[in-house]
Structure 1
C-alpha cells in the first residue's frame, strides 16, 4: 500500500455497492487527511480503518450533497514540515474541500497555522494540545478529540481523592507532553493546595532511556507519579519501572494508557491500579457503540482501538459539516460547523461555537490484567462538555476572530 497517498473511496458492500456508480457520475467531494502512518502504526492503522468504514457507510447512504465522499490520506512522518508539504499538495493538486487529521500536537499546530494562512478548513483529529483551540486557535481550525485540559480535568477529579501529597511527573519533551503536565498540575493543585511537585523528567519523544528516568524519579521518593508517555516509550517505562519497583506502593495517574493500542503490547506486564483515560472497547454497551462494533468487526475481523473511534468520528463530523453547509465553501463550512452535532460511537458530540472544540468525551478507569491482557477496570464515560472552561474563560485565552 502506498503510504504517501491512499484513496479511501468508501466502497460499500451489498446494497450500498449499487449506489456508488450513480454517486460517481455526480462527482466527488474530497477530504485531505494527513497523519503519522509510518511512525505510529499502532494508532494510525486502526484509525485508517475507522476512516474507511465511515466513508463507506456515508456513501452507501447516498454520499454528501449527492456526491461520493473520498478521503485522500498522506503520511507526515511525524514532521511538521512534511505535514505542511502534504497539505499544499492536497489543496493545490487534489483540490480537497478541507484538510484533516494529524497525530502529534506540534504537527497539528503547524497545520492549524497553514489553514489560517491559506484560509482552508482544518478538522484536527488527534492533536491534544490546548493551544490548538485556545492560545493559537483560529477560525479555520476545529478539534475532535477531548483535549489535554479535558482529560486532565477528568483525571484530576479522581486524583484529588488520593492521599498522595508528593508528586513527580514523566512526559515526552514536546508540545503535547509539556501541555499535559502544565494543565494537570494547575488543575490538581487548585483542588489540592497541599500538593507538592517534587520533580520532573522530560525524555525525548520516541527515544526514552527508561533506566535513568526511573532511577531519577525513584530518587525523589514521590507518593504519586503523573505519566504522559505513550506507545513504545510507555512500554519501556513500564518494564523498567516494574523491574526496579518504581510503581510499588505509589499511585500513578496516566494519560491515554487505557487505550488498547498502548495497553495491548504490555500484556500481563500491564501495571494494575493506574488511574487512566482510555477505551474499554468490549465494555461499552450503548446502542451507538454496539452498532459501530458490529460493523467494524464484520469488516475487519478485528476489534477497534481508540484510533478507530477517532477516524470513524472524524469522517462523520466532516460529512455532517459539509451536508449542513450545503457547499464546500470554506466560510460556509465554518459557519455550519460552529455548534453542529454529529454522530460518534460514544453518542452525539458537538463543536462548541466559542472555541471550536468538540464535546466528545473519554473513559476514565483503572488498569488491570485479565486473562494475561491489560484491561480497563470500572470505566466510566465522562462527557467532554462537563470538563470544558466557560465561555468567559475561553475569551481570555483565545484570540477572537
Structure 2
C-alpha cells in the first residue's frame, strides 16, 4: 500500500517538485541524471550486447538534444550475473553506492522478478526491459515496476492464433524449466485450447536452462508421435535442439510453433541450419521499411557498423521511455516518474506504444511469421506486426490478478 499512498499524495505535489527542479541553480543543473542498468552481458551477449548498443544510441540522441530537465543523462551499467542473488547485489550497489535515480534492464525472468521485488521494497522505479514473465506486471506486480516487451501471454496468444488454424490435434512441448518457460507453456496451452478444444498435449519436455540433453528430448518427442510441436527453447538450447531434431527427422512432417526463434539473436547462431517454415515470433530488421524503423536502423548501422537486433530496439526504447517519463514528471523522484509513466504514449521503432495504467505493461507488439533458411543465416518471411494492445487482457481482468493497492 505504500506505493499507492505515495502516488495519491503526488497528485497534489508533483507540480511543486517540478517547479523546484526547473528553478535549481547552475550547479545543480550540471549534475547528470544517473540511471542504473543491469543485464546478463556475460551469460547472454547475443541479446544483451545489441541491447546495450541500443541504449547507447538513445543516450547519444538524448544528450545531443539537451538532455532531460536541462541535465545530461548518465547510464551506469553492470552485469547482473544471470542470477537473482547477484542481480540483487548489483541493484543495491547501483542505488546505494552509485546513487542512481532508477533502474532498467535484465533479461532472464527470474532475475527480473528479483529486481522488481527490490524496486518495490526500496521505492525505486524499475523498467524491466526484456523479461517475459507476466508475473512482473500481474501476480507480482508493484507500483514501481514497468515492463517494455510483450510478455509470454501476449506472444503465446499471437502464436496460438496461428496454431489454431493448423491441421494438428496432438501436440508436444519443449521448454526450459524455469519461470519463462513455465509461463509460456501455460499460456499457450490455455489459449490454444480455448480456440481448439480438441487438441491434446501428448508429451512435455522440460530441460534445465542451457543444459538440454537434445538427443533425449528429441527422442522422447518423436516417440510420442505428435502432429505439432510448441518450442520455447532459445540460445544454445535452441541450437542443440534444432540440429539434433533435424538429424533425427523429428521435424519432418510436423508443424513447429516456436517462441522468439525469429529474432536474429537466436536465429543467427543456427547459420544455414535454420529450419524451414517454423511459425515464430521475431524481428524482420532487414525488411521492415516504415519511416520510423528505417531512421532507427540507419542511425544504428552508422554508429555500430552492424544491423540492429531485437535487443537493440529494446535497449533504445527503454532509455527513451525513462527520459520522457522524467521530463513529464519534472523530477527524478521514482514515485513521480512512475505516475508520469502510467498511460504515457511513446514513439518506438515499431510504432507508437503506451504504458497501460492498469498493469504498467507497454503495448509494444512483435512480429509473427515463418523461418526461411538462407545460405549462412535465417530470415523471417511472410510476417505481420501484431500490436500488443490487441492481445493484452482487459483492465478489469488485470485488476483481479494484481496485488491490492499496486
Q: TM-score range by the shorter chain?
A: over 0.9
Could you say which residue in structure 2 is the equivalent of 1:126? Answer: 130
- Corresponding residue for residue 58 of structure 1: 62
Contact 1:23 1:66 survives alignment (8 Å): no
* Cα separation, 2, equivalents of 1:175 and 1:216: 23
Within 1, Cα distance between the matches of 2:358 and 2:129? Answer: 18
1:373 and 1:101 mapped to 2: Cα distance? Answer: 28
Aligned match of 1:310: 314
**C-alpha spacing 1:168/1:23, structure 2 compared with 1 (3 Å):** farther
Q: Distance in 2 between matches of 1:265 and 1:24?
A: 47
> Which residues of structure 2 form unaligned runs of 5+?
1-25
Q: Tell me the distance in 1 between the aligned counterparts of 2:293 and 2:153.
A: 25
Structure 2 counterpart of 1:115? 119
Out of 372, 382, 395, the residue aligned to residue 399 of structure 2 is 395
CA contact (8 A) 2:261 2:282 kept: yes
Mark the CA change 1:23 to 1:231 in structure 2 (over 3 Å): closer, same or farther.
farther
Matched, 1:215 2:219: yes
* Shift in CA distance, 23/295, structure 1 to aligned 2, threshold 3 Å: farther
Question: Deviation digits for residues 24-51 of structure 1, max 9, x if unmatched?
Answer: 9722001101100000011111111001
- The answer to whether the 8 Å contact 2:280/2:371 transfers is yes
User: How many residues are paired up?
Assistant: 380
Whether contact under 8 Å (2:116, 2:136) holds in the other structure is yes
Q: Are 2:175 and 2:232, in contact at CA under 8 Å, matched by a contact in 1?
A: yes
Aligned with 1:291 (options 295, 299, 315):
295
In the aligned structure 1, how far is the partner of 2:29 from the partner of 2:144?
A: 30
> What is residue 243 of structure 2 aligned with on the other side?
239
Counterpart position of 2:153:
149
- CA offsets 1:89-111 (integer angstroms, 9 cap, x no match): 11111111101110000000001
- CA-CA distance at 1:23 after TM superposition: 11
Choose which of 351, 364, 368 in structure 2 pairs with 1:364: 368
Structure 1 residue 400: deviation in Å?
A: 2.9
State the alpha-carbon separation in 2 of the partners of residues 320 and 363 from structure 1: 25
Aligned-partner SS, 2:135: helix
Give the Cα–Cα distance (whole angstroms) in 2 for the partners of residues 262 and 143 of structure 1.
Answer: 21
Please point out which of 383, 387, 393 is paired with 2:387. 383
Contact 1:293 1:303 in 2 (8 A): yes
Q: How far is 1:343 from its partner?
A: 2.1
DSSP-derived class of the 2:382 partner? strand
Q: Is the 8 A contact 2:371 2:380 kept in 1?
A: yes
User: Which residue does the alignment assign to 1:37?
Assistant: 41
Q: Does residue 1:319 correspond to 2:323, yes or no?
A: yes
Question: Could you tell me whether the CA contact under 8 Å between 1:30 and 1:95 is conserved in 2?
Answer: yes
Pick aligned residue for 1:337 from 338, 341, 363: 341
Say if 2:73 is the partner of 1:69. yes
Distance (Å, rounded) in 2 between the aligned partners of 1:40 and 1:370: 24
Q: CA deviation at 1:347?
A: 1.2
Aligned to 1:106: 110
What is the distance in 1 between the residues matched to 2:166 and 2:95? 50
Q: Which 10-residue stretch deviates more, 217-226 or 23-32? A: 23-32
> Which gives a bigger RCO, structure 1 or 2 (Cα 8 Å, sep 6+)?
2
* Worse overlay, 181-190 or 362-371: 362-371
Residue 266 (structure 1) aligned with residue 270 (structure 2): yes
Query: What is the deviation of 1:289?
Result: 0.3
Superposition TM-score, scaled by structure 1 size:
0.93
Partner of 1:135: 139
Cα offset, 1:349, TM superposition: 0.8
CA distance in 1, matches of 2:28, 2:311: 29
The counterpart of 1:346, out of the listed 339, 343, 350, is 350
Equivalent pair of 2:36/2:100 in contact (CA under 8 Å): yes
Separation in 1, partners of 2:161, 2:353: 22
- Give the aligned partner of residue 5 of structure 1: none
Does structure 2 retain, via aligned residues, the 8 Å contact 1:24–1:68?
Answer: no
Q: Does 1:46 align with 2:36?
A: no
Q: Is the 8 A contact 2:29 2:70 kept in 1?
A: no
Provide the TM-score with structure 2 as the length reference: 0.92
